[in-house]
Structure 1
Amino acid sequence: MPSSGTLVHSLGHNWLGKADIAVQTIFLAVSLVAVGLRLWSRRLQLSSLQLSDWFIVLATFAVLGLYVVEITKVLLTGLGLHSPEVARVGGNDIFVQFSELTYCGDLLWIIAVTLIQLSILLYYVREFGQRLVVWSAYALMGLCTALGFAGVFATAFFCTPPKKLWLSDTPGHCGDRDELQTSVNASEVILSFFVLVLPIYFAWRRAFSQARRAALVCIIALGLGIVALIASRMKYDSKLMPSDATYGSTRKSLLSCLVPILGITVACLPTLPPVIQRIFGTSIFSSTSSMSGLRPEAAKHWKTTVLTGRRLEEPEMPLVTVTQPMMAKMGHLSPGHIHITSDWEIHSSRGSTRIERSPVRQV
């Protein structure tokens, strides 16, 4: 077979490569739709983008870069084909390009996973007001950030200089690759598990509808599946054969891309109830911020701060208490019958807790 410099023409019998492209394309499309719906949900809530949203947007760009790297590895370096065929078609220089692309993909994977974890933890801080959740989330954010920087640094400078990773004749030295990959994957498995289970107890105690509880179970199950994918990635990485890297690393590459892609989808799902209500006209997935979604005993009370809207840990107080003035009893109103016929509005701004109400008319 004549050398063409590329392996695009070999895609016809590269079944692993085609499966890799197809699976990643489908799940990436789903995650992009989820991100778009998340941004639309913020707009429906008349809310500006929060830091957790920006982290998801940045993670999406990192995942898109990882997707481009994987497509390039399949089309130009023969990912999914056995190394002897790759060398026969494209020459030994193909393996240099393959190592360079793998290097870039590993860096993008760590960055994407770290951004997704930080986005989820920031959502916990805003959504849950319990002190235990907030401080635990901040602690995990510190660990995720530290692990992210350590993983990027260790991967980027695994070899000194870095180009020795793909040019073995370059003077320098490299570390233990198996030890690096095992430590990174094991740390991500542990941290991702704790990020997932952190708010389960507090979320389950909320007065959710049955549909929302079912959705919560599905999200948790999907998150546990992602943790299992990270563990499987570690397993395939340990079985990688350097003599046949283009074929043996195909499954690892597929799992590597699926982890952040599914992670973005999971991170976006809890923010979608406003969009679901807008599209399907149903509020069964609405959060407890809707009075209609509360149980009868919980609907009598509502706890919130004027400025931040976060739920308090103090005992719940009634939303409003109306008492009949003594002068009203002496007037034309019947005792015990007070009708408020105009709406109340609460206006707040930074540094001010003034509460205003529209005029009240008594009938």
Structure 2
Amino acid sequence: MPAAVPIENGLQSSVIVSSSISIALVTVTVALRLLAKQKVRGWDAGDCCLIGALLANTALHTLVILLVVYGAFGFHITEIYTRFSPENAIFFFKGIMAFPILWTVVTCFSKISVLFMYTSVFVQESMARWARYIGAFLVTWNVATIIAGLTLCRPFARNWNRTIPGSCGSPSKLYTSIMVINMTIDVILLGLPLPYLFSLQMPLRRKIVASGMMTIGIGTWVITIYRQTLLSGLDFEDMTYTGVLATILSGLEPAVAIALACIPQMRPLCARKKQVSYGYGSSDNHERIDADSVVRLWSIDGVQSKRSKSDGVAADQEP
């Protein structure tokens, strides 16, 4: 471990503050979501995936803080070599190589958590089938992303020592492709439950509210798009200085996404009971659900379209 560097400029402080906030934000929101779920019906596989995202997010931002303390993140690369030591620069480039791997794990767990949530809410076979297809693609794509990141430079040690003979691919092209595919998956995930939701027999206002809750993750696109605009001006040879803002935004993106996914599901912590009925298709086939289910409907977690044993029941029809 190289010697720690002094914390003396605004870039260093901004990285430490943003990462600390990201850790605290995700920890608090996930804890409150799990508490709310425990109050209603207990945890499920989606919650376990979210715990995995929480752990990966904590590791991601702990790494970023260590890059500041031991990797001199926030200083120009030339200043690191002249003022500190080559070991600090090596520590940074080794750590920044691990950053996209942890980022990929966070986003993968969080998206799979959403798929589990959808299948618990809408139990039609078509939803389960789509969730399996998308989940398989997510895992495959994320594994491929990790492999691409690890093989960007050949030989491997060239990632942190550019004096070694060899070659490296374009990090900018890799990150751009990751962003495009990630946003495409987000669009699919946000649109997937809407046909099932609007086939419910329930007031239009409540459908709109529930749709808004399901698509709240669009808020992270602002961060994603702005971060992408920074890549064109990024000097990857001086990543220790020019990459500060892009790294902050990259870390905030999954943290905000997880928090936005958790916040609507905290409603059971302060909800009052109320008996209503919603269903699919004909009003004669409504499914009775209690207050907790109504709360979970608004929070995208709990109105389950249980299959009727009778043939032709609209609740079993796929949108």
Question: What is the CA-CA distance between 1:214 and the residue it aligns to?
Answer: 4.2
Where 2:157 maps in the other structure, the secondary structure is helix
What's the TM-score, normalizing by structure 2?
0.80
Gaps of 5+ in 2: 290-302
Question: What is the CA-CA distance between 1:273 and the residue it aligns to?
Answer: 2.8
Where 2:262 maps in the other structure, the secondary structure is helix
Question: What is the CA-CA distance between 1:196 and the residue it aligns to?
Answer: 1.9
- Correspondences of 1:19-34 after superposition (within 5 Å): 19-34=14-29
Where 1:239 maps in the other structure, the secondary structure is coil
Where 1:272 maps in the other structure, the secondary structure is helix
User: Could you report, residue by residue, the CA deviation over 1:69-125 in whole angstroms, capped at 9, with x for unpaired residues?
Assistant: 111122222323333433332133322111111011111001111111111011111
Question: What is the CA-CA distance between 1:270 and the residue it aligns to?
Answer: 4.5
In the alignment, what sits opposite 2:276?
292
Between 1 and 2, higher relative CO (CA 8 Å, sep ≥ 6) is seen in 2
Q: CA RMSD in A?
A: 3.1
Where 1:262 maps in the other structure, the secondary structure is helix
Letter of the aligned partner of 1:301 in structure 2?
A: H
- Equivalent of 2:215 in 215, 220, 234: 220
Question: What is the CA-CA distance between 1:208 and the residue it aligns to?
Answer: 6.3
Question: What is the CA-CA distance between 1:215 and the residue it aligns to?
Answer: 6.7
Residues 285 and 314 in structure 2, CA contact (< 8 A), matched pair in contact too:
no
- Correspondences of 1:1-363 after superposition (within 5 Å): 5-7=3-5, 9=6, 11-12=7-8, 14-47=9-42, 49-204=43-198, 206=200, 207=202, 213-214=208-209, 216-217=211-212, 220-221=215-216, 223-277=217-271, 282=272, 291-292=275-276, 301-302=286-287, 310-312=305-307, 314-315=312-313
- Cα distance in 2 for residues equivalent to 1:101 and 1:260: 19
Residues 158 and 166 in structure 2, CA contact (< 8 A), matched pair in contact too:
yes
User: Could you report, residue by residue, the CA deviation over 1:265-321 in whole angstroms, capped at 9, with x for unpaired residues?
Assistant: 2332343332232xxxx35xxxxxx633759x96982179xxx9643485359xxxx
Question: What is the CA-CA distance between 1:249 and the residue it aligns to?
Answer: 0.4
Gaps of 5+ in 1: 284-289, 318-363
Q: Percent identity?
A: 21
What's the TM-score, normalizing by structure 1?
0.71
Where 1:129 maps in the other structure, the secondary structure is coil
Residues 66 and 109 in structure 1, CA contact (< 8 A), matched pair in contact too:
yes
- Cα distance in 2 for residues equivalent to 1:230 and 1:51: 27
Letter of the aligned partner of 1:64 in structure 2?
A: T
Identify which range, 247-256 or 209-218, moves more after superposition: 209-218
Residues 220 and 257 in structure 2, CA contact (< 8 A), matched pair in contact too:
yes
Residues 277 and 288 in structure 2, CA contact (< 8 A), matched pair in contact too:
no
- Cα distance in 2 for residues equivalent to 1:202 and 1:128: 7
Letter of the aligned partner of 1:159 in structure 2?
A: C
Question: What is the CA-CA distance between 1:167 and the residue it aligns to?
Answer: 1.7
Residues 186 and 231 in structure 1, CA contact (< 8 A), matched pair in contact too:
no
Q: Which has the larger radius of gyration?
A: 1
- Cα distance in 1 for residues equivalent to 2:70 and 2:167: 28
Letter of the aligned partner of 2:276 in structure 1?
A: S
Identify which range, 92-101 or 73-82, moves more after superposition: 73-82
Letter of the aligned partner of 2:313 in structure 1?
A: P
Aligned pair in 2 of structure 1 residues 291, 299: CA closer, same or farther (>3 Å)? farther
